[in-house]
Chain A
Amino acid sequence: MLRILIRAQVQSVLASLTRSSRGKGLSLAAAGLLIVFLAAVFLFFFGFTFYALALALPGMGLGWFYFALAAAMAFALGFIGSVFMAQQQLFNARDNELLLAMPIRPRDILGARMAVLLLLDYALTLVVLLPAGAVWLAVAGGTLSGVIGFVLSALLLPLLIMCFTCLFAWLLALISSRMRRKTLITLALSIAFLAAYFYFYMNLQRLLTELIANSERIAGAFVAVYPLYAFGRAALGSWPHVAGFAACCVLPFALVCAILSRGFLAVTTRRGAGKKLVYRERALKASGAGAALLKKELARFGSNGMYILNAASGTLFTVAAVAALFIYRVEAAALLAALPEGLGAGVVTLALCFLTAMDFISAPSVSLEGRTLWLLKSLPVPTRKILMSKVNLHLAVALPPTLLASVCCAAALPFTLAEAAAIVAVPALTCVFCALLGLAVNLRYPKFDYINETAVIKNSMSVALTMFGSWALLAAAALLYAFALRGVIGMTAYLGLCAAALAAACAGLYLHICRGGVGRFAEL
């Protein structure tokens, strides 16, 4: 039974990556390429980090600390990368009740879901430990027992990560099943994780220098965290520490499995949260159909923390960028002044465009209708208006911060009037373009057979195509200027051409949605 459930889980994950509901989807090869690209980015990032550490630590006799740091990083990435998915997969999956009604032991359902999460943890761990191991071998060399000890410990580490992931996910599910403001909790926790990640990322160089300078003192603190210390020693070929680390991973993992299988039924079948809200009649506000549809879209967006965090991450970063601009205004101006004349406007515009292109709010919006699609189709509202409400949601969320950031950049930094106009216009048009593109792609590749909404928001093809497609277009525009047009046309004129091209693309997409998109929506 467990095998059947695992197979179904794996198929579901693969399908979410490669297939839309109507059969047309990304090929397995294309999905694989996407994963390889992302893995390469991470491998490069971690490779750089470990290279700096591998040069310094072995000479100080702190080789074990190198591997302990690698384990800590793998732990952090694995935990952050899988905890919310664990909550959705283990405790909030739409088919939990269906499976629980079948003659299947709850622990088998849990086991199948944990197996898939474990695979994800292995993948995330590999992204950190592979460059760590390779860099160590290249820089410091290694022994056979060390390699075996490292490989064994690397295979065991995801079990330890799973313990914390599952327990935290269980805690989240327990808290959220008792609370009304689930979105707020998810948002607060996720933003805290993101802030910590970006703090680490932005200060990587300084942290690395400090780490190497104070490595003996920090290593002393690491000794106190036995699993990390054991991992470090095991990776250098110490067999007692391999056994010790195995005990640190396997025993807690078994304990967590036992605890979760006992509590699984209680958490998944918990209903109702807190005190019941009693309706007291009051005057209702009336609005037009268009406004009602937009309010409905906003309500859906606001009710789902995953939707906000994933699809509106560009907006969050744009707001952060505006704050950073005010803090580092002088440094930013100096940086721009160092660039060749005229290039500053292009760099700022490109950065703002990339930020707004990180928003893909409209890309899963049709898929998210799911089982309620009948409702929209039965309303006496033109389909064009229904579809535009999804574009308007994207614009309502993403356009104001984009405009604010553009205006702040144009005002705070030394630009000419024409450059300032381009800095405001091009990102705004990119935002409109992304909104329209997301909707058009989602109409082409909708996905309605999802287990939970996170699968559509994070893994669906329309989202991947919209985000990477718009990024690719921006990169192409930048490269075209850098390598072909730089000597031919000035930056301001080029930005003007980009604005015209974007306006034309927006008009084309709008017409496509109003004609082909309307027909496509009727077919869904």
Chain B
Amino acid sequence: MLRIEHLTKSFGGKRAVDDLSLRIAPGQIYGFIGHNGAGKTTTIKACCGIMSFDSGEIYLAGRSIKSEPLECKRVLAYIPDNPDMYDFMSGIKYLNFICDVFAVPRAERQERIHRYAGLFELTGDLAEPISAYSHGMKQKLAIISALVHAPKLIIMDEPFVGLDPVAAHKLKGLMREHCDAGGAIFFSTHVLEVAEKLCDMVAIIKSGRLVKAGTMDEVRGDDSLEDVFLELEEE
């Protein structure tokens, strides 16, 4: 579903991502772990076609994000670490805008908005302007907007930040459901317990370089993910 090959991106003279390669298959929840400034967000933004990169290639569902960005974006949903959306729109207008852009048929958008807004208990607030939303409500709206166009791949940057425990639990359920239906999820997190319980695969990035990747069992061995992560950080 997502193939990153030798991705390299520099800012000024500093390499933010250095020769990074990853493969994410359909049905997988892939966790992406690293300290602050390790290169997670840069990698994620490059995968979403938001940020250009110096060398390497990224393929989504077999298509290059460089040469076919629109086709890639059609099967992709991105949830950023800070859900800044159009404050001047109401929640429902924003969701309808996303559905228009992704050409979601009317009946389906109606049904999906009803389902996901209901699930995250946001239905009653959809008429309110986004400027009136709390951080958690904005995060929920960003998640709903990612799900309404039924993407194959969802890329999330710290998706659990700002969510209440109930919403976080529901999101985990949805992530599993999405992957069981043949989709894939690539997300970054600092909450190692969540990654450990939720992910099928995990990658650890340090100073822009991939230091460990594989199935959860391969990466952690007999230790906890936290122990492995801390050990790698100290090296």
Contact = CB atoms under 8 A, between A and B. Distances in A.
B53 to A, nearest CB: 12
Contact of A296 (B70, B89, B104, B105): B89
Interface in A234-285: 271-272, 276-281, 283-285
A370 B73 CA distance: 21
A300 B123 CA distance: 23
A287 B85 CA distance: 20
B110 A289 contact: no
A71 to B, nearest CB: 41
A295 B98 CA distance: 12
Interface string B86-114: 10111111001101111111100110011
Contacts of B125: 279
B128 interface: yes
Contacts of A371: 82, 84
Contacts of A300: 86, 88
Nearest to A271: B132
A133 B223 CA distance: 83
A382 interface: yes
A378 B92 contact: no
A375 to B, nearest CB: 7
B229 interface: no
B49 interface: yes
Nearest to A285: B96
Contacts of A272: 132
Interface in B49-81: 49-50, 52, 70-71, 73-74, 76, 78, 80
Contact of A304 (B78, B84, B88, B90): B88
Contacts of A288: 100, 103
A272 B132 CA distance: 7
B84 A303 contact: no
A105 interface: no
B106 A380 contact: no
Contacts of A271: 132
B101 A379 contact: yes
A289 B88 contact: no
Quick one: which of A271, A280, A281 has the most chain B CB within 10 A?
A281
A55 interface: no
B174 interface: no
Contacts of B106: 283-284, 286
A93 B86 CA distance: 18
B171 interface: no
Interface residues of B, number: 43
B181 interface: no
A378 B86 contact: no
A378 B123 CA distance: 25
A281 B100 contact: no
A293 interface: yes
A483 interface: no
A380 B124 contact: no
Interface in A351-378: 370-372, 374-375, 377-378
B9 to A, nearest CB: 13
A378 B48 contact: yes
Interface string B210-234: 0000000000000000000000000
Interface in B121-155: 123-128, 132
Interface in A145-197: none
A299 B93 contact: yes
A380 B73 contact: yes
A381 interface: yes
A456 to B, nearest CB: 14
Contacts of B49: 377-378
Contact of A374 (B80, B105, B113): B80
A377 B65 CA distance: 13
A178 to B, nearest CB: 13
Contacts of A286: 96, 99-100, 104-106, 109
Contact of A303 (B88, B97, B100, B102): B88
A380 B101 contact: yes
B157 to A, nearest CB: 10
A60 interface: no
A331 interface: no
Nearest to B123: A279
A522 interface: yes
A292 interface: yes
B91 A279 contact: yes
B132 A292 contact: no
B86 A374 contact: no
Given A279-B127, A292-B101, A299-B86, A380 B70 contact: yes
A291 interface: yes
B59 to A, nearest CB: 16
27 contacts: A271-B132, A276-B128, A281-B110, A281-B123, A283-B110, A284-B92, A284-B110, A284-B113, A285-B96, A286-B104, A286-B106, A288-B103, A289-B101, A292-B100, A295-B97, A296-B97, A300-B86, A300-B88, A303-B88, A372-B84, A375-B84, A377-B49, A378-B76, A380-B73, A380-B74, A381-B70, A522-B52
Interface of B: 45, 48-50, 52, 70-71, 73-74, 76, 78, 80, 82, 84-86, 88-93, 96-97, 99-106, 109-110, 113-114, 123-128, 132
| The 8 nearest A-B residue pairs measured at CB | A292-B100, A303-B88, A380-B73, A279-B126, A279-B127, A371-B84, A277-B127, A380-B74
Given A286-B99, A286-B106, A377-B50, 18 more contacts: A277-B90, A279-B125, A283-B106, A284-B99, A286-B100, A292-B101, A296-B86, A299-B88, A303-B88, A375-B84, A375-B85, A377-B49, A378-B48, A378-B50, A380-B101, A380-B102, A381-B101, A522-B52
